[in-house]
Structure 1
C-alpha cells in the first residue's frame, strides 16, 4: 500500500511538470512545445521498441492505426490545447479545469454503461457543483491578482476554452485506450504504451516540419529549428518526454498494480496538486485563501464522486 502511494505521488509530480513548461518559455508557440515534447518521447520509445520488438510485431495494421489515433488526440492535440490554455490564462485555472477529469470520466462512463450498473446521478450532482465552485474561486482569485490576465479579455477566455478542449481530449483518451486494451487482452500494457510512443514519433516529426515551413514563409521571424533559447527548449522537451511521458506513466502503472482501483482513481489528483504547487513556486508566492478554498472544493468534488459505487445488479 505505502509503495503504491509513493509511486502515485511520484507520477503526479512528474505529470505536473508539463503545466509549468509553457510559463518557462512563453515566447514559444504551444504547437512547438507539443511537437517538441512528443518528438522527444518518440525518440525515447525507439530503444524500448527494439527491446519489445517481438510483441510489437504481433500488432496488426488496425492496431497501429488505433495507436496513431490515440497519439494524435491524446498526446499531440491534448498538449497543444493545454499549453495554449496556460499561456493565455496562466496555470492555476486551466489546471483546475483539468482536475475535473475523474468526474467527467465517471459521467461519460455512466452514459456509456448500457445495461451495466451506473453511478447514482444524484450523488454526482454535488460533485459537479463543488468542482464548479472551486474553479470559480480560483478564477476570481486569479483575476484579482496584480499582473495576471484580465478575466474579461478575449485572450483569457480563449485560454479557458482551450483548457475545456484539453479536458475533453484527456477524457476521451483513457476511455478509448481502455476499450482497446479490454478487447486485446493478449497485448501487454507496456508493449501498447511503447507502440503509442512509436506512433507519436512520425506525427511529431510531421508537426515539427510543418511548423518550420510555416515560420519560414509567414515572416514572423521565429528562430527555427530550436527557437530563441535552444538549450532551454531542448532540455524542457527532453524532460517532458522522459519524466512526464515515460517515468510518470511507469510510476502510475506501478501504483495501479499495488493499489485497489477505487484508491488509485482518487490519487490522480496528485497531478493537479503538483501542477498548482509548481505554478505558485514559479511565481514565488503563496496561494490566496480563496485559491486554497477552490482547491479544497475541487478535491471534495472528485473524492465524493470516486467514493460513490454503482448499485448492485439485481438477480
Structure 2
C-alpha cells in the first residue's frame, strides 16, 4: 500500500511539470510548446516501439488510424488548449479546472455507458459536484481580485484562458473514454504496446505540426526565431524533460501504483497531480496561496475524493427499483 501510494505521489509530481512549461517559457507560442513536447515524446517512444515491434505488427490499419486520432486529441490538442489557458489565465485556475477531470470523466461515462458499466446515482454525485464548483469559484474569485489589482489587467484574456481550460477538459474526457472502448474491444492486446503505438503515432503528427507552424510563421511575417525560439537551450531542455518525466516516467509510475492499490484509492490519488501543479505555480510566483485559494483547493480535493467513493449501480437494479 505504501509503495503504491509513493508511486502515485511521484506520478503526480511528474505530471505537475506539464503545467510549469507554459509559465517558464511564456514568450513561446502554445502551439510550439505542444508540438515540441510531443516531438520529444515521440522520439522517446521509438526505442520502446522497437522492443514492442512484434505486438505493433499485429495492429491493423484501422488500429493505427485510431491511434492517430487519440494522439491528435489526447496529446496535441489537449496540450495546446492547456498551454494556451495557462499563458492567458495563469497557473492556478486552469489547474483547478483540469483537476475536475476524474469527476467529469465519471459523469460522462455515467451518461454514455450506463447500460454497460452501471450508473452513478445522481443524488450521491450532487454533493461532490457542488463542492467542486464552489472550489473553482473560490480560486477564480481570488485570481480575478489579484488580476484587477494589476495595472493594465486584461480580463478578456483571462476569460479566454478559462474557456481554453474547459476545452482541455473536453479533450481529455473524450480521450480515456475512446481509449477504453478500443481496449475493451481488443482484450487480447497489450495496454503497454497500445500506449507505445500512440506514442509512435504522435511523432509524425508533431513533426507535421512543427513544419506547418514554421511555415505559417514565415508566411505571416512573424518575427519569432524558429525553429527553437529566442532561448533554444532552455526550450529544448524543457521539452525533453516534460516528454521524459511527465509523458513517460509519470505514466510508468502511475501504472506501478495502479497494480498495487485498489482502484477506488488510485482514483483519489490522481489529485496529487493537481496539488503538485498548484504548488509549482505558486513557487514560480514566489508567493503563498491566500486563504480563499486554500479553501478552494480544499473544496476541490474533498469533492473529487467524495465522487470517487460513489460506486456505479447496475442499470437493471435501478430500473427494478422504479417499478411499483
**Offset from partner CA, 1:206-243 (integer Å, 9 cap, x none):** 00000100111111200000000000000010011100
Shift of 1:148: 6.1
- Which residue number in structure 2 is paired with residue 260 of structure 1? 262
Shift of 1:82: 0.1
- Which residue number in structure 2 is paired with residue 111 of structure 1? 111
Q: Which stretch of the first structure deviates more once superposed, 174-183 or 67-76?
A: 174-183
- Which residue number in structure 2 is paired with residue 141 of structure 1? 142
The number of equivalent residue pairs is 315
Which runs of 5 or more residues in structure 2 are unaligned? Answer: none
- Which residue number in structure 1 is paired with residue 167 of structure 2? 165
Shift of 1:151: 8.0
1:43-82 mapped onto 2 (5 Å cutoff): 43-82=43-82
Shift of 1:311: 3.2
Q: With structure 1 as the length reference, what TM-score do the two structures score?
A: 0.97
Shift of 1:149: 9.1
| Distance (whole Å) between structure 1 residues aligned to residue 276 and residue 152 of structure 2 | 25
- Which residue number in structure 2 is paired with residue 84 of structure 1? 84
- Which residue number in structure 1 is paired with residue 11 of structure 2? 11
**Offset from partner CA, 1:87-143 (integer Å, 9 cap, x none):** 000010000000000111111111113435311101111111111111111111112
| Distance (whole Å) between structure 2 residues aligned to residue 64 and residue 219 of structure 1 | 36
| Distance (whole Å) between structure 2 residues aligned to residue 173 and residue 236 of structure 1 | 25
Shift of 1:67: 0.5
| Distance (whole Å) between structure 2 residues aligned to residue 246 and residue 231 of structure 1 | 21
| Distance (whole Å) between structure 1 residues aligned to residue 60 and residue 311 of structure 2 | 37
| Distance (whole Å) between structure 2 residues aligned to residue 148 and residue 210 of structure 1 | 36
CA contact (8 A) 1:89 1:149 kept: no
| Distance (whole Å) between structure 2 residues aligned to residue 72 and residue 149 of structure 1 | 38
Which runs of 5 or more residues in structure 1 are unaligned? Answer: none
- Which residue number in structure 2 is paired with residue 201 of structure 1? 203
Q: With structure 2 as the length reference, what TM-score do the two structures score?
A: 0.94
CA contact (8 A) 1:151 1:157 kept: no
CA contact (8 A) 1:280 1:286 kept: yes
| Distance (whole Å) between structure 1 residues aligned to residue 153 and residue 111 of structure 2 | 33
CA contact (8 A) 1:143 1:149 kept: no
